[in-house]
């Protein structure tokens, strides 16, 4: 094959692949099996590898990722990406509608068409196309500027690398990156139980900021477009622009409606209150926008939100069901957590049959008894919880919830720690539940990040006593692993490779991964700097540890007690023999001292950073991270949906920064 033949074949393959991509992701009418599609893509990759001069940025082969990004460059948005005002009240929707009507009347406009769209629970991004080709993808950031994440955006199959039909000049498209429910469930199943994402939005936000685009591609994210700017005729209405977006090759969800009266809006909201649970992705409300784009500038915006749009959010859904029983789970530190076993009931699009009861005080507060009829709710439409008992429907055969006297896993008599409401199993070294919990914590993403070590495998390893502590992981052999259920040679090799890679994790991570009571990631960092090796930590006195910033006597006693145990000494020996990093000679290099002496707390979701990244930036500038608000807290950085911690900070008079102000302080 010469270069001319190659160019012709590449053009054919690209056209065919993009056609099947559109059929699969946009139209949901696939004509090829995954295997057949992969064969087509591999053909393209092979030819492009043979003729690298023919590779272009819009080629479907460029979606697989592989580039490593050390940092994301900031970009200024051409127009601010404002957030919408939210309401949970239909009455406030009516007030918004009437207020908009009055504003339009002042402009001499009588008609008031609105477009109602579903509100997608994802992450807002901006896409810039030049002469039909994708040249930039950026996060919303603080609304004025965001991060250039083009290398990650290119991996999302529902984002066209080239607009269908082309487009002259520059066109901006905005929309929401999200994860379908099925893809989110698969992602969580592949992760240790303690390291799973709470909801698809969190998983999406974290994925977009990953530095390895190949890993981003594996996260299987999707995109829905809802904004188009840059058409030659700017008088085109918003409703028509949504049609343009579909012609360009985007998915718009197709669940939107032109509303000419308030009753049309109310009907749309009522209709999707139940129907939305049938969709393959999460939606949490309805967005209302003025259809006449040319009038939006005249109406303007407040400091944060446009006056021509509003978001109605559906209230948390509730359901009634029956409490059949309360079982008791054992955590990695031995804590006993009561869990409600419920009559299965449909709630917010899924069947709920279990709910955590948090602790025994919660059971007492609710006045909960077995066989009670209870009301459950999904917090954030993700986590089910029991919120009350229907006392008037209490049956005659109710039974009290009896606190267990022995561990449900190992039968050891339970104990109660001083000043704590809960009970715990003191059998740390032999209780299977605690061993499983410690192994899963050790393998989690923020600890040793052992990707191939999931819950099902850990259950097997602990049950047959191949693993009695985390040190045993590093002495597993391939034949032992191959004999396990659903573990072939390749899976065994993948686990051994992941274990080998984890040996390079630093000492600070290792300290956190040990799961010492009261030692979170921030505390592990402080300990690693004050005691730069496990030997130094073992030799430290309680007084020395108490004098470390943010440690205090409670944490100091916990650490002293842990390292003094014979089982811990044995574990340290195993980890050392396995070649893990039991110390560090590197000291923290400060970029500047802008946060020196400050304790910083993050609350809510940030647009431009994960919580880990933001914390690192503070620490690199001399600051310290805390998890709770007090009068001693230096400042609080508040992102989206900040809750009680923000309220407490404001009440205590603690300085609060927005994400943009935080960046300025960096």
Rounded Cα–Cα distance for residues 447 and 453 (Å)? 13
Could you give phi then psi for residue 530, rounded to 5 degrees?
-80, -35
CA distance 138 to 80: 12
Pairing of strands 336-347, 318-330: antiparallel
Q: Which of 109, 107, 152, 159 is nearest to 133 (CA)?
A: 159
Calculated CA dihedral for residues 24, 29, 31, 37, nearest 10 degrees = 10
Q: Is 514 exposed, middle or buried (0-12, 13-18, 19+ CB in 10 A)?
A: buried
Beta-carbon contacts of 635 under 8 Å, excluding residues fewer than 6 positions away, are 598, 600, 601, 654, 655, 656, 657
Q: What share of the chain is helix, strand, coil (3-state, %, to 5)?
A: 40, 20, 40
89-100 burial: b if 16+ Cβ within 10 Å, else e:
eeeebeebbeeb
CA dist 469 and 437 (Å) reads 10
Q: Give the span between the Cα atoms of 423 and 415, in whole angstroms.
A: 6
Tokens of 540: 């430290």
And the tokens for 217?
């591609």
Closest CA to 368 of 338, 345, 388: 388
DSSP line for 37-63: HHHHHHHHHHHHHHSGGG--TTSGGGG
Contact between 367 and 360 under an 8 Å Cβ cutoff? The reply is no
The Cβ-side half-sphere exposure at 255, using a 13 Å CA radius, reads 20
The residue annotated as part of the active site, out of 70, 102, 119, 385, is: 119
Q: What are phi and psi of 463, to 5 degrees?
A: -60, -40
CA distance 34 to 30: 9
Q: Is 220 a catalytic residue?
A: no
Pull the structure tokens for residue 359.
Answer: 């602790």
CB 273 within 8 A of CB 267: no
Cα 513 from Cα 495, distance rounded (Å): 18
Residue 603, token pair as written in the block: 């609350």
> Rounded distance, CA 593 to CA 464, Å?
52
Which amino acids are annotated catalytic?
119
């Amino acid at each position: 094959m010469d270069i001319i033949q190659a160019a012709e074949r590449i053009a054919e393959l690209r056209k065919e692949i993009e056609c099947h991509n559109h059929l699969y992701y946009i139209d949901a009418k696939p004509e090829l099996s995954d295997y057949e599609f992969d064969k087509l893509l591999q053909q393209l990759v092979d030819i492009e590898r043979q003729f690298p001069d023919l590779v272009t940025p819009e080629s479907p082969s460029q979606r697989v990722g592989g580039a490593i990004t050390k940092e994301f460059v900031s970009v200024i948005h051409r127009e601010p990406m404002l957030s919408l005002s939210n309401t949970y009240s239909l009455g406030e929707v009516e007030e918004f509608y009437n207020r908009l009507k009055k504003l339009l009347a002042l402009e001499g406009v009588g008609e008031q068409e609105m477009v109602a769209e579903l509100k997608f629970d994802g992450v807002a991004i901006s896409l810039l196309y030049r002469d039909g080709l994708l040249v930039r993808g950026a996060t919303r950031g603080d609304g004025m500027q965001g991060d250039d994440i083009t290398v990650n955006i290119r991996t999302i199959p529902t984002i066209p690398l080239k607009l269908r039909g082309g487009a002259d000049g520059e066109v901006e498209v905005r929309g929401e990156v999200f994860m379908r429910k099925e893809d989110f469930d698969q992602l969580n199943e592949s992760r240790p139980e303690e390291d799973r994402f709470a909801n698809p939005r969190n998983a999406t936000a974290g994925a977009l900021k990953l530095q390895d685009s190949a890993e981003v591609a594996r996260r299987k994210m999707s995109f829905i477009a809802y904004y188009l700017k840059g058409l030659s005729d700017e008088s085109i209405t918003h409703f028509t622009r949504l049609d343009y977006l579909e012609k360009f090759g985007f998915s718009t969800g197709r669940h939107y409606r032109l509303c000419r009266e308030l009753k049309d809006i109310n009907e749309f909201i009522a209709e999707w209150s139940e129907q939305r649970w049938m969709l393959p992705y999460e939606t949490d409300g309805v967005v209302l926008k003025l259809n006449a784009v040319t009038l939006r500038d005249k109406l303007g915006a407040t400091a944060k939100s446009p006056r021509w749009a509003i978001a109605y959010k559906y209230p948390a859904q509730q359901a009634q069901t029956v409490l059949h029983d309360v079982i008791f789970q054992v955590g990695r530190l031995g804590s006993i957590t009561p869990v409600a076993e419920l009559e299965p009931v449909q709630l917010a699009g899924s069947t709920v049959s279990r709910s955590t009861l948090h602790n025994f005080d919660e059971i007492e507060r609710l006045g909960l008894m077995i066989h009670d009829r209870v009301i459950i709710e999904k917090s954030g439409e993700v986590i089910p919880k029991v919120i009350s008992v229907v006392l008037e429907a209490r049956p005659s055969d109710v039974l009290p919830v009896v606190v267990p006297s022995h561990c449900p896993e190992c039968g050891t008599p339970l104990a109660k720690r001083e000043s704590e409401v809960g009970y715990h199993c003191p059998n740390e070294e032999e209780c299977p539940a605690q061993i499983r919990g410690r192994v899963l914590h050790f393998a989690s993403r923020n600890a040793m990040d052992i990707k191939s070590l999931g819950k099902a495998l850990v259950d097997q390893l602990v049950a047959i006593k191949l693993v009695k502590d985390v040190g045993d992981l590093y002495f597993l052999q391939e034949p032992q692993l191959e004999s396990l259920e659903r573990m072939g040679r390749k899976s065994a090799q993948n686990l051994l490779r992941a274990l080998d890679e984890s040996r390079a994790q630093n000492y600070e991570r290792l300290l956190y991964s040990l799961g010492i009571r009261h030692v979170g990631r921030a505390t592990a960092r402080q300990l690693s700097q004050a005691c730069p090796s496990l030997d130094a930590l073992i030799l430290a006195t309680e007084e020395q540890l108490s004098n470390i910033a943010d440690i205090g006597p409670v944490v100091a006693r916990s650490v002293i007690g842990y390292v003094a145990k014979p089982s811990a000494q044995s574990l340290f020996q195993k980890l050392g023999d396995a070649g893990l990093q039991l110390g560090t000679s590197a000291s923290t290099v400060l970029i500047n001292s802008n946060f020196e002496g400050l304790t910083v707390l993050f609350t809510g979701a940030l647009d431009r950073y994960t919580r880990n990244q933001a914390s690192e930036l503070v620490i690199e500038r001399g600051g310290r991270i805390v998890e709770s608000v007090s009068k001693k807290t230096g400042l609080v950085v508040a992102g989206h949906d900040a809750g009680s911690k923000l309220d407490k900070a404001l009440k205590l008079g603690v300085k609060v920064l927005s994400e943009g102000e935080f960046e300025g302080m960096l």
